[in-house]
Structure 1
Amino acid sequence: MLRCQAWRGLAARRSAAFSAARTLSSSVADGDRSTSVPRDECCNIPPNIWKRVGADLHRRPGHPLNTIKRHIEQFIIQRATEHQWLADGVVNCFDALSPVSTTKACFDDLLVEPDHPSRAASDTYYVNQTHVLRTHMTAHDVQMIARGERAFLTTGDVYRRDEIDRAHYPVFHQLDAVRLFDPDKVSGLGGNDLIVSDLQDTLNGLARHLFGADTQVRWVDATFPFTQPSFEMEVLYNGEWLEVLGCGQLRDGVIRAAGLDAERHKGWAFGLGLERLAMVLFEIPDIRLFWSEDERFRKQFASGELGVKFEPYSKYPPAYRDITFWLSDAFHENAFCELVRETTGGDVVEDVSVIDSFTHPKSRRKSLCFRITYRHMDRSLTGEEVDDMQFRVRARARDELGVELR
């Protein structure tokens, strides 16, 4: 089901902002970046997101995301070798797959319901009616299984329209892993129990590899469209339980989507966010720092080791501005956060939060007051700069989101 209809009215008012290039050089099927994917009226991807495509932070040596990725890959490859996952012992790692995915691969093949919120244009970046910027690395799983991969890892940039705060960014990075079992081995050694046991043993080892040998792990039942049973793994870190990843046994429908007999082929999968892990392990306080070109940030992680702790090199003062408006029928908070990012240049705003909500007792119209926290990562902002950005945010919110300023 196409979920871009709600975007069209807004897109008509914002077409000037997206009128630059009309195609993206990237692949839908196999990572070949030469295939052109045209945009259409469903495209809701602003320029500040397009410019992030191809940045490949996870492939930059010495970058904290690359460090996390490399250590996970090394652990999985070593475990696969020691436990003889495959006859040839080869676990393939893919980190240069195109971020443009078909909606079939991103949603349908993974059994995501047609009315699931993740398909909505308020949550997902659509390139056109049938293509999106992938929302998770799991979008590649069926493709990889179908072409013969039986144990593999995929890492890359993923895209979601999201709120603005220190822990959320519209572009982030995920690592996914899949293991399929030899059909004869599964049928002879307990089937599903074997799969779940192997998955949890593997991830217990990964947690201790990343967080330390004495790390405590617990499993929380979860629900994902593409796995059953499903779990979230949490680790006890600095006295608090921290959610690290989601995982589970691949559903039969996913196996069948890859063209295999689901009665004979079974396997598991897990996925995790690299930024989330890096912020904890390296004590990085703001997700925007991963995009910093400041040498004071980059040089701290050049060693590629896990034991590094981020040392703040400066702290510029925040500036707060409020904006209050009556909502339009089509208003969505993610659209407002996207507009704020575009208007201010992407990374100048640290946080956007609702500080007050009011519903008129007679008309039932709803009004929200948002507090915008401006704080540049590399310098102090002047009052004039902040006022100018706030003025432009107000004007664009009125003109493009259809809200009534108060």
Structure 2
Amino acid sequence: MHKIFPRVRRVSSLANGRVELLGNQYPTDSVTNSHYADFTHISSLSPLVSPFKNFDELSFPQDHPGRAVTDSYYVNKDLMLRTHTSAHEVEVFRRGEDKWLLTADVYRRDEIDGSHYPVFHQMEGARIFSADAAGMKEVEERTIVIEDVPHVSATNPSQPTHDPLYSELVAQNLKLSLNSLMLTLFGGAGVGSGAPLRVRWIEAYFPFTSPSFEVEVFFRGKWLEILGSGVVRQATLDTANVSNKIGWAFGLGLERIAMILYSIPDIRLFWSTDERFISQFKDKQITTFQPYSKYPSCFKDVSFWTQQDVALHENDFCDVVRDVAGDLVEDVKRASGSLCVFPAMTPLQIDRFVHPKSNRTSLCYRINYRSMDRSLSNEEANELQSRVVSQLKEQFGVEIR
């Protein structure tokens, strides 16, 4: 697994204290907690879970890409870092919780750019009702009417085991709850004096809900995806021994919403201890982030032949770079228009070539080294690049061109 366990320790250590910081420093977490004040609030569950808990309990198909070692951090075949807060749905429902809010760090192997980081924070909310007339009476209580995509449709159906009417009522209740949350979060920030907040619901697919929806908000001139949601899979509730219930769940990324609300351009800043960043934010106040001096980039290319019998996924490459450079790397991406782009290339590669005789593959990536709090010297960048090359050779047997 290419030194996955050391990476598990490294990325899990990054999360220490950040849930608290996101809650206390930025109002995203505290506002949401206040909005769901009568929900049970949970934030102390271990990030180490079994793949069964992370995937199988939530009806993920066996061939889902999220299961791959290139997408998730595994300790071994029986233990991994959770990739989403939904990994605890069955556990919390089984406790007897009918309405709860869970905030936690989650981990994914991903590309390197301003909006992706190997650890980030999610908030999951869920509410279940008795699947009978009394439960549906509670669901029906509402003060506004929602006009948007159908709550249930042929392309976004209710589950076979659900009464279609009950499923529609639960979806309506979900939308009422989240529209109110969106108004609380975004209604007073950048929408415009007297202008109504525009929220739209889009049909979506998630293995653990049906019908499923994504929620977008029109904010500062463009539509932005905010969260995913839906009616909880009955199989999940059955596993949790609450088969007589029906309900909804949603999940949102705290850093993503904070980046939108405060116009924060780089997710690495959430791990910064620089006072120029931290001092800009006050409790329960939404202000636009004022960038301080942006230090110069230092671009380094690396080109190599891969071994035919050794798999090198793009996320493997990005993890090698993160292992060496940490937050001193800003992104790994294709240089715009600088080189011919082959059809089989991925977005991160600036060159890809397959030798017509040997059938060997050559890849080229461009790494952008840039510190958020000081200027990197070319010598420092060269040293980092040398260590990246050394690790690529050691772990994947590449041949540098």
TM range (shorter): 0.7 to 0.9
**Structure 1 residue 114: deviation in Å?**
2.0
Q: Which amino acid aligns with 1:206?
A: L
RMSD of aligned C-alpha atoms?
Answer: 1.7
What secondary structure is seen at the aligned counterpart in 1 of 2:380?
A: helix
Q: What is the alpha-carbon distance in structure 2 between the residues aligned to residue 225 and residue 325 of structure 1?
A: 38
The match for 1:357 is 352
The correspondence of residues 382-397 of structure 1 with structure 2, limited to 5 A, is 382-397=377-392
Q: What is the alpha-carbon distance in structure 2 between the residues aligned to residue 123 and residue 61 of structure 1?
A: 25
Q: Provide, for residues 213-233 of structure 1, a one-character-per-residue CA deviation record: whole Å limited to 9, x for no partner.
A: 621111111110100000111
The range that moved more, 243-252 or 394-403, is: 394-403
What secondary structure is seen at the aligned counterpart in 2 of 1:288?
A: helix
Q: What is the alpha-carbon distance in structure 2 between the residues aligned to residue 130 and residue 146 of structure 1?
A: 22
**Structure 1 residue 44: deviation in Å?**
5.8
**Structure 1 residue 115: deviation in Å?**
2.2
The match for 1:133 is 81
- Report if the CA contact (8 A) 2:353-2:361 is conserved: yes
Among residues 322, 327, 333, which one is paired with 2:314 in the alignment? 333
Relative distance call for 1:63 and 1:404 in structure 2 (3 A) is farther
The range that moved more, 240-249 or 90-99, is: 90-99
- 2:66 is aligned with 1:91: no
Q: Which amino acid aligns with 1:335?
A: D
Relative distance call for 1:271 and 1:177 in structure 2 (3 A) is same
The match for 1:311 is 290
- 2:236 is aligned with 1:236: no
Unaligned runs of 5+ in 2: 141-164, 189-195, 334-348
Among residues 178, 187, 192, which one is paired with 1:212 in the alignment? 187
**Structure 1 residue 266: deviation in Å?**
0.2
Unaligned runs of 5+ in 1: 1-6, 12-41, 78-89
**Structure 1 residue 100: deviation in Å?**
1.2
Q: Which amino acid aligns with 1:246?
A: G
Q: Which amino acid aligns with 2:44?
A: A
Q: What is the alpha-carbon distance in structure 1 between the residues aligned to residue 199 and residue 212 of structure 2?
A: 16
Q: What is the alpha-carbon distance in structure 2 between the residues aligned to residue 365 and residue 265 of structure 1?
A: 56
**Structure 1 residue 277: deviation in Å?**
0.6
Among residues 242, 245, 250, which one is paired with 1:265 in the alignment? 245
Q: What is the alpha-carbon distance in structure 2 between the residues aligned to residue 252 and residue 46 of structure 1?
A: 32
Among residues 7, 11, 19, which one is paired with 1:58 in the alignment? 19
**Structure 1 residue 63: deviation in Å?**
4.9
The range that moved more, 177-186 or 115-124, is: 177-186
- Report if the CA contact (8 A) 2:109-2:319 is conserved: yes
Query: Runs in 1 of length 4+ with deviation above 2 angstroms?
Result: 42-48, 60-64, 182-190, 359-366
Q: What is the alpha-carbon distance in structure 2 between the residues aligned to residue 246 and residue 395 of structure 1?
A: 41
**Structure 1 residue 211: deviation in Å?**
1.1
The match for 1:289 is 269
The correspondence of residues 69-108 of structure 1 with structure 2, limited to 5 A, is 69-77=29-37, 90-108=38-56
Q: Provide, for residues 213-264 of structure 1, a one-character-per-residue CA deviation record: whole Å limited to 9, x for no partner.
A: 6211111111101000001111111221111000000011111110122xx3
- Report if the CA contact (8 A) 1:162-1:334 is conserved: yes
The match for 1:31 is none
What secondary structure is seen at the aligned counterpart in 2 of 1:266?
A: strand
Q: What is the alpha-carbon distance in structure 1 between the residues aligned to residue 287 and residue 44 of structure 2?
A: 26
- Report if the CA contact (8 A) 2:329-2:371 is conserved: yes
Among residues 119, 128, 131, which one is paired with 2:67 in the alignment? 119
Q: Which amino acid aligns with 2:363?
A: L
Q: Provide, for residues 255-303 of structure 1, a one-character-per-residue CA deviation record: whole Å limited to 9, x for no partner.
A: 1110122xx31000000111111111011110000000111111111x2
Q: What is the alpha-carbon distance in structure 2 between the residues aligned to residue 384 and residue 152 of structure 1?
A: 51
The correspondence of residues 101-180 of structure 1 with structure 2, limited to 5 A, is 101-180=49-128
Q: What is the alpha-carbon distance in structure 1 between the residues aligned to residue 201 and residue 359 of structure 2?
A: 44
**Structure 1 residue 61: deviation in Å?**
7.0
Q: What is the alpha-carbon distance in structure 2 between the residues aligned to residue 52 and residue 174 of structure 1?
A: 15
- Report if the CA contact (8 A) 1:45-1:127 is conserved: no
- Report if the CA contact (8 A) 1:57-1:63 is conserved: no
Identical amino acids, percent of aligned pairs: 46
**Structure 1 residue 129: deviation in Å?**
2.3
**Structure 1 residue 56: deviation in Å?**
2.8
Q: Which amino acid aligns with 1:68?
A: T
Q: What is the alpha-carbon distance in structure 2 between the residues aligned to residue 181 and residue 327 of structure 1?
A: 54
- Report if the CA contact (8 A) 1:281-1:306 is conserved: no
- 2:230 is aligned with 1:248: yes
TM-score (norm 2): 0.83
Among residues 303, 312, 331, which one is paired with 1:324 in the alignment? 303
**Structure 1 residue 396: deviation in Å?**
1.1
Among residues 218, 223, 226, which one is paired with 2:205 in the alignment? 223
Q: Which amino acid aligns with 1:318?
A: S
- Report if the CA contact (8 A) 2:302-2:364 is conserved: yes
The match for 1:19 is none
Q: What is the alpha-carbon distance in structure 1 between the residues aligned to residue 370 and residue 98 of structure 2?
A: 46
**Structure 1 residue 138: deviation in Å?**
0.7
Q: Which amino acid aligns with 1:365?
A: R
Q: What is the alpha-carbon distance in structure 2 between the residues aligned to residue 50 and residue 157 of structure 1?
A: 9
The range that moved more, 181-190 or 388-397, is: 181-190
- Report if the CA contact (8 A) 1:63-1:298 is conserved: no
**Structure 1 residue 306: deviation in Å?**
4.1
**Structure 1 residue 362: deviation in Å?**
3.1
Q: What is the alpha-carbon distance in structure 2 between the residues aligned to residue 376 and residue 61 of structure 1?
A: 22
**Structure 1 residue 60: deviation in Å?**
2.7
